[in-house]
Every structure is written in structure tokens, then in C-alpha cells.
């Protein structure tokens, strides 16, 4: 790896950090989604990345025709619907299913969603106009800000802002509302939750829909940054899973921090060292993390 870190490579660092941060925000949201579902069912939902894909693709298709006010809710609704479908497939056989069959079911739903998206909107990347752009010669161009030697696009600020909002919202939801507390109760002890009168199946359904909705929101805000493609789900899902494991499964704050760190590390290694293999960086990190610390890096030992 004898790559001379020349001056112009180093000059790219701030830009890479910014783009990595954006990607990391998506990983963070996906990781939170993994944790929500894992807490309520102990299932890792392999279709998690597809929720982001659905949000992104639906939003990209609608944004070119209608306004954001229509596209945003429709895309999120589509994501929630997908989440409900996965929940249904997982819930039907849950009692007698083995881990292997649950894995296979979620993979089945994952490739089914991908196939459906491919069928409906084709394999090509769909460009989407940024939320707050300026019209230049008929095209919508994004505003750019200069910040510490890097250009930062308005859309990237949107991604970061929405992520922050979602994370805070999640925190309040799980701490302050009855529904959130009921879901946490299910996570801690399902039998106990059932005894005090919580409908566990409904909570599982709610957790899938919520995780899917979160993913879809992430997809919507990110569709103008990355191009929305029907095969973007796998990479985002795996990255999000990597973040979830890094932060400790079921640990929201850890997942968010790990997601952002992962995004930045991936972007830096991809940009500076192995540009040919930049898609593989996240997977290599995932493998290493799984082998070294499957219980998570950011989780306290006592908890694990």
C-alpha cells in the first residue's frame, strides 16, 4: 500500500470527510432501524437496506414530477408499507421458525422488493433535484457553501439535519411516549410485557413499520445526493448493519456514532488508499469487526 500521501491527496481530506459524514448519517439511521427491530424480535432484518432504497427511488421518481410536499409523505408511506409486509412475513411463522428460516424469509423479501423496484422503475440510476436548489438554465442546481476547504452542498446539510432530528425524535419517542415505553418493555422481557397487557405482536408490527419509515426518510433525503438505484439497498443495509454491530446491537446512540464514524472511515480509505476497491471497504470493516468484537466496540463490557 505504498501510496504517497501527496499534498493534493491531503487537500481532499475535508471533502472526503464531508461526503463520508453524509453517507455515515444514512448508515446511522439504518443502524437505528436494525436496533429497533432487533430489540423487539431478536431478528436481523436483511431487508433493512431496501427500505432506504424504496424511499429513495419513490422520492426520486416523484420529485421530478411533483413538489417535495407530495413526494416526501408518499415515499415514506411506501417504505412503511414495505415494513408492514416484512413484519407480516416474519410474524406468520415466528413461533416455530428457526433463526435460519427467519434469515431466509427476510432475504426473500429483500430481493423481492429489489426486483419490484427494478420492474417498476428500471435498473438505471434516477436523478432527483435537490430540495432547496436554484434554477440555472432550466436545471435545478444545488447551493454550495464553502467550509474549511471543502464544498458542502445544501442537500448534505439536509441529510445531516434530518438525521439529527430523527435521532432526537427517536430518543424522545422511546423515553416519553406510552407506545415507545411499551416497545422498550417488549425488548426487555416479552413475557413480562404480555403479562402487563401489552400486545406484543402489535409492538413487533409497529417496530418494523417504524424502522422502515426511518429508512425511507433517510432514502428520501439522500436521493438527490446519491443517485437512487434499485440495487443501492444491499450496500447501505450492510453498512448499517456494520454500524449497528460496532455500536452494539440494540444500542441506539452507539449505532448512530458508529454509523457516522464508519461513513467517514470508508470515505477516507476509499478516497486516499484504494479507490478501485472503495466499495469493498465497508465490507472488510464489517468482517473485521464481526471477527474481533462481535459484541460491539462502543458497548460497555458489563452490558454485553
Partner 1 sequence: MKDSERRGTHTEKAIPVRKKNLQLLNILPFAVFLACYAFAPRVVNDAQLTTIIYIGIYALLAVGLNLLMGYAGQVSLGHAAFFGVGAYTSGILTAKPIANEVIPGVSAGVGVISAVAALLLLTKPSGWKLAVGISLLVALGWLHNLPNLIPVLCAACAVAVMGIFGLMAKLQWMRTCLSGVVLTLVANLSKWFLKGTLERGSASPWTGLLVGVFLTAVISYLIGSQVLRLKGHYLAMATLAFGIIVEIVFRQWTSVTGGSSDGIFNIPSIQFFSYIPGFLRRLYEAAAGGSVDLRTQYYYLVWAFVFIAIVLAVNIVRSRVGRAFRAVHSSEQAAASLGVDTARYKVQVFVLSACMASVAGTLHAHNAGIGYIHPSEFGFIVSVELVVMVVLGGMASVWGSLFGAAAIQTLKDRLLDLEKTNPEFWGLKLQGLDPIVFGAVLIVVMIVLPQGLVRGFSDGVALLWRSARRSGRQQGVN
Binding site for partner 1 (CB under 8 A): 41-44, 46, 89, 92-93, 96-101, 103-105, 107-116, 118-120, 123, 190, 234, 238, 241, 245, 276-277, 279-280, 283-284, 286-287, 290-291, 294
Q: Which is nearer to partner 1, 171 or 194 (CB)?
A: 194
The helix (H) or strand (E) run that includes residue 42 is none
Q: Cβ contacts of residue 48 below 8 Å, gap of 6+?
A: 30, 33, 34, 37, 211, 215, 237, 240, 241
- Confirm if 76 and 216 have CB atoms less than 8 A apart: yes
Q: Which residue has the cell 438525521?
A: 163
Q: Which is nearer to partner 1, 77 or 200 (CB)?
A: 200
CB atoms within 10 A of CB 152: 20
- Residue in 278, 269, 204, 239 with CA at minimum distance from that of residue 53: 239
Instruction: State in angstroms the smallest separation of the CB of 244 from partner 1.
Output: 10
Instruction: State in angstroms the smallest separation of the CB of 113 from partner 1.
Output: 8
Cell of 156: 448534505
| Burial category of 180 from C-beta neighbours within 10 Å (exposed 0-12, middle 13-18, buried 19 and up) | middle
Instruction: State in angstroms the smallest separation of the CB of 225 from partner 1.
Output: 22
Q: Which is nearer to partner 1, 125 or 154 (CB)?
A: 125
Instruction: State in angstroms the smallest separation of the CB of 36 from partner 1.
Output: 15
Q: Which is nearer to partner 1, 17 or 52 (CB)?
A: 52
Mark 105-140 as b/e (b = at least 16 C-beta within 10 Å): bbeebbebbbeebeeebeeeebebbbbebeeeeeeb
How far apart CA 217 and CA 283 sit, in angstroms, is 24
- Confirm if 167 and 175 have CB atoms less than 8 A apart: no
Instruction: State in angstroms the smallest separation of the CB of 265 from partner 1.
Output: 16
Q: Which is nearer to partner 1, 43 or 222 (CB)?
A: 43
Instruction: State in angstroms the smallest separation of the CB of 98 from partner 1.
Output: 5
Q: Which is nearer to partner 1, 97 or 179 (CB)?
A: 97
- Residue in 39, 52, 40, 112 with CA at minimum distance from that of residue 238: 52
Q: Which is nearer to partner 1, 153 or 299 (CB)?
A: 299
Distances (CA, A) of 49 to 28, 154, 156, 259, 263: 12, 24, 20, 14, 15
Cell of 112: 423481492
- Confirm if 228 and 128 have CB atoms less than 8 A apart: yes
At 134, give phi and psi (nearest 5°).
Answer: -115, 140
Q: Which is nearer to partner 1, 88 or 168 (CB)?
A: 88
Amino acid at each position: 500500500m505504498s501510496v504517497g500521501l501527496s499534498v493534493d491527496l491531503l487537500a481532499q481530506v475535508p471533502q472526503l470527510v464531508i461526503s463520508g459524514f453524509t453517507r455515515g448519517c444514512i448508515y446511522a439511521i439504518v443502524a437505528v432501524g436494525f436496533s429497533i427491530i432487533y430489540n423487539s424480535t431478536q431478528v436481523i432484518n436483511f431487508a433493512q437496506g431496501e427500505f432506504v432504497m424504496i424511499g429513495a427511488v419513490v422520492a426520486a421518481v416523484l420529485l421530478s414530477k411533483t413538489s417535495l410536499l407530495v413526494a416526501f409523505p408518499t415515499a415514506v408511506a411506501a417504505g412503511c408499507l414495505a415494513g408492514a409486509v416484512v413484519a407480516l412475513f416474519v410474524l406468520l411463522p415466528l413461533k416455530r421458525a428457526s433463526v435460519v428460516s427467519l434469515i431466509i424469509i427476510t432475504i426473500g423479501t429483500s430481493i423481492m422488493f429489489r426486483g419490484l423496484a427494478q420492474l417498476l422503475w428500471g435498473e438505471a440510476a434516477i436523478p432527483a433535484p435537490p430540495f432547496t436548489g436554484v434554477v440555472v438554465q432550466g436545471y435545478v442546481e444545488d447551493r454550495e457553501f464553502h467550509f474549511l476547504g471543502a464544498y458542502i452542498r445544501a442537500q448534505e446539510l439536509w441529510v445531516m439535519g434530518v438525521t439529527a432530528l430523527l435521532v432526537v425524535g427517536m430518543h424522545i419517542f422511546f423515553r416519553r411516549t406510552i407506545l415507545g415505553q411499551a416497545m422498550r418493555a417488549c425488548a426487555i422481557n416479552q413475557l413480562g410485557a404480555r403479562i402487563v397487557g401489552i400486545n406484543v405482536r402489535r409492538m413487533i408490527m409497529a417496530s418494523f413499520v417504524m424502522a422502515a419509515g426511518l429508512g425511507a426518510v433517510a432514502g428520501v433525503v439522500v436521493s438527490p445526493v446519491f443517485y437512487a438505484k434499485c440495487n443501492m439497498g444491499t450496500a447501505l443495509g450492510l453498512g448499517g448493519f456494520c454500524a449497528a454491530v460496532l455500536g452494539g446491537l440494540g444500542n441506539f446512540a452507539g449505532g448512530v456514532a458508529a454509523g457516522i464514524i464508519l461513513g467517514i472511515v470508508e470515505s477516507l480509505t476509499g478516497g486516499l488508499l484504494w479507490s478501485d476497491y472503495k466499495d469493498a471497504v465497508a465490507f472488510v470493516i464489517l468482517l473485521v469487526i464481526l471477527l474481533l468484537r462481535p459484541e460491539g466496540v462502543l458497548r460497555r463490557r458489563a452490558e454485553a
